[in-house]
Amino acid sequence: MCGIFGYVNFLVDKNRGEIVDTLIEGLQRLEYRGYDSAGFAVDGKLFNDGDNGEIMSNIIVKCPGKVKVLRQKVADDKIDRSDVFDNHAGIAHTRWATHGQPKEQNCHPHRSDAAKGEFIVVHNGIITNFAALREYLLSKGHQFESETDTECIAKLFKHFYDLNLKAGVSPDFNELTKQVLHELEGSYGLLVKSFHYPGEVCGTRKGSPLLVGVKTDRKLKVDFVDVEFENNASAAVAQQQIGQTLSSLNGPNGATAQDLGFIPVAPGEQNLRTSQSRAFLSEDDLPTPVEFFLSSDPASVVQHTKKVLFLEDDDIAHIYDGELHIHRASTKSAGESTVRPIQTLEMELNEIMKGPFKHFMQKEIFEQPDSTFNTMRGRIDFENNTVTLGGLKAWLPTIRRCRRIIMIACGTSYHSCLATRSIFEELTEIPVSVELASDFLDRRSPVFRDDTCVFVSQSGETADSILALQYCLERGALTVGIVNSVGSSMSRQTHCGVHINAGPEIGVASTKAYTSQYIALVMFALSLSNDSISRAGRHEEIIQGLQKIPDQIKQVLKLEDKIKKLCNDDLNDQKSLLLLGRGYQFATALEGALKIKEISYMHSEGVLAGELKHGVLALVDDKLPIIAFATRDSLFPKTMSAIEQVTARDGRPIVVCNEGDAIISNDKVHTTLEVPQTVDCLQGLLNVIPVQLISYWLAVNRGIDVDFPRNLAKSVTVE
């Protein structure tokens, strides 16, 4: 999905070439999220603006395609690399088309005007009232160059800037940003730069992630940034001002500025930069050399710095003179935090590199012995058979009393909920429903104060899930996040939760996040029921089973050669593939089918084995490839009966079974993929690995760009 990257240096000399390289590298680290175009803006040369003196032109380079195409364009355009800047702001973007096709005019950055490009904007998310804004701005004489919703943001900046000037006010950049935000509906992660504010950038977010990385050789004085709220007095001055000036403010076509509720910045506010950002002062209280990296994703910042600050919705990060200021457009409300912490990222650069693997997906499949171990590390005491989840501990008594648990997620994360629902119900005896976030919202499903809503997400930014979270928060339910990305919207907005600690997942097709989510959910169910003596035996069985999982996954990964051959010899040319499972293995069948669709583009369907006879059986013949999950659990005889139904119609299924298990007679099955046996509720952790590998090798054989499948994005931040 769209990615944002920005770079600001202060008292650190960088030439234009280095700045462009930093921006392009930043975009490259965002590539995994999926995108169709890329672009950036940096300062050009000074030119003479007649009476107004010298101003800085902008260089905007953008094009559809990969970041390497953008890099080539920079080389072809022979952009001068030599000018040195000791203070500069550059912004960049990878786009995933929503409004308007992937073509150059629709790529970001967008500018306020073709003549001078006074304001330049990059934007993630969707402005839902863009049509009305566009109409308004057209009526004011602005000319649009693209079909995007984003362009109206750049135009609004210029529009309000000009209105302020007419009112005799030269607004501060963050005040201007507040005025623009006031008009925007929808979601955004946004960066804006302007030659009116050289070397400065404003970044803001609502429902779309944005963080600021800070790199300096000096020790920061404090590890937080104060939030600067609107004060009541200045709001009152602005109100007074509006009465005096609105009548005289006429837009280019005679319409008054009142159309958009414009309030000029109060005169006392303009360029009032008396506050200092405490963190960025050196011992002698002088500004320090510093670089700032703004991004929608920590993965693009970690190579430069591990010190990051995650913005909250409606924060405006204003970077100027080597300082980072956080502004809010509103006065402080009770209980609102007055600081934003500067945190240290745990992520290592090598975690987001491919290493010896050909693709991130392959690397992530093979990381699962480690990632599953990391999910349990420090949380399970295997000697005493106990589980402690720090982020949930204090909430467990409340959750135990809840009326029901609703698990809400999308895609693979939804499957991890399905895979663990049964063990939740068994251990907690609380009714559990599992919901796809979009459908849950479409139905406006009833939610009550005594419900516990569990949100599961790798990215913690999926728009449908975030909207469902807000819906549940509004209704007073307790919300729990099971999230991989630390600092993500979901992990911050839920009341409590568990980070799955799987490490960064780059491949669009989710693999290691699934197994870690699965384990985190099992640990959650264990924690909820650890007060029950009657379940102590079952607890012990599951906890001992969990301990063996990383090693057992290693065993299953040894099937790769057999699977590679199977894909080469038998599955490559197929058009469709069915996966059969029941009980715990229904989720595995669904997840396997999703993997195969996502990256090999082969039609694939997960079928509940019990439903086979109610329709799907009509598809079965001696040609249709079928994978059946027939590992040992209480439903094994029923699964076998489904396999019999298939073989009786000349179907020859590939059977995932436990080691040494004789599945019918060998001539009736195509082949078996043998996996170690574990506790019934954990078996899905092992059974899913062969289908992850099948999807991977099918995609590789078909020459598909495994990590960047067509039309898909890693993190879907639009509804």
**For residue 507, what are the CA distances in angstroms to 19, 98, 280, 516?**
28, 22, 37, 15
Rg for the chain (alpha carbons), in Å?
28
Comparison of 138 and 436: residue with beta carbon closer to ligand G6P: 436
Minimum distance of ligand G6P from residue 430's CB (angstroms): 23
Helices (H), 460-534: 463-474, 489-493, 512-528
Comparison of 517 and 639: residue with beta carbon closer to ligand G6P: 517
Which amino acid does the sequence have at 654? I
Comparison of 201 and 454: residue with beta carbon closer to ligand G6P: 454
Backbone angles phi, psi at 630, to 5 degrees: -130, 55
Residue 497 has, within 13 A of its CA and on its CB side, a CA count of 29
* Tokens linked to 67: 């970041």
Comparison of 385 and 458: residue with beta carbon closer to ligand G6P: 458
Catalytic member of 2, 107, 152, 410: 2
Residue 144: exposure state from Cβ atoms within 10 A (0-12, 13-18, ≥19):
middle
Residue 225: exposure state from Cβ atoms within 10 A (0-12, 13-18, ≥19):
buried
Contacts with ligand G6P by CB under 6 A lie at 410-413, 457-459, 462, 465, 508-510, 712, 714-716
* CB contact at 8 A, 508 and 359: no
β-strand pairing of 654-658 with 626-630? parallel
- Beta pairing partners, 225: 340
Comparison of 484 and 552: residue with beta carbon closer to ligand G6P: 484
271: left (phi over 0), alpha (psi -120 to 50) or beta: left
Minimum distance of ligand G6P from residue 360's CB (angstroms): 12
Minimum distance of ligand G6P from residue 289's CB (angstroms): 37
Q: Map 334-350 to HEC letters.
A: CCCCCEEECEECCCCHH
Minimum distance of ligand G6P from residue 34's CB (angstroms): 8
Comparison of 319 and 513: residue with beta carbon closer to ligand G6P: 513
Minimum distance of ligand G6P from residue 437's CB (angstroms): 8
Minimum distance of ligand G6P from residue 500's CB (angstroms): 10
Comparison of 465 and 683: residue with beta carbon closer to ligand G6P: 465
Helix, strand, or coil (residue 179): helix
Helices (H), 88-166: 130-139, 151-166
Minimum distance of ligand G6P from residue 490's CB (angstroms): 8
In whole angstroms, what is the distance from residue 473 CA to residue 463 CA?
15
Minimum distance of ligand G6P from residue 462's CB (angstroms): 3
Q: Is 2 a catalytic residue?
A: yes
Comparison of 251 and 606: residue with beta carbon closer to ligand G6P: 606
497: left (phi over 0), alpha (psi -120 to 50) or beta: left
Give residue number: closest CB to ligand G6P: 411
* Tokens linked to 372: 């599953």
Minimum distance of ligand G6P from residue 714's CB (angstroms): 6
**For residue 699, what are the CA distances in angstroms to 378, 516, 595, 598?**
37, 24, 10, 9
Comparison of 459 and 585: residue with beta carbon closer to ligand G6P: 459
Helix orientation angle between 584-600 and 683-701, rounded to the nearest 10 degrees: 20
Comparison of 95 and 307: residue with beta carbon closer to ligand G6P: 95
* CB contact at 8 A, 497 and 491: yes
Rounding to the nearest 10 degrees, give the CA dihedral for residues 14, 17, 20, 24. Answer: -120
Minimum distance of ligand G6P from residue 509's CB (angstroms): 6
Helix, strand, or coil (residue 412): helix
* Tokens linked to 395: 């909430």
Residues forming the active site: 2
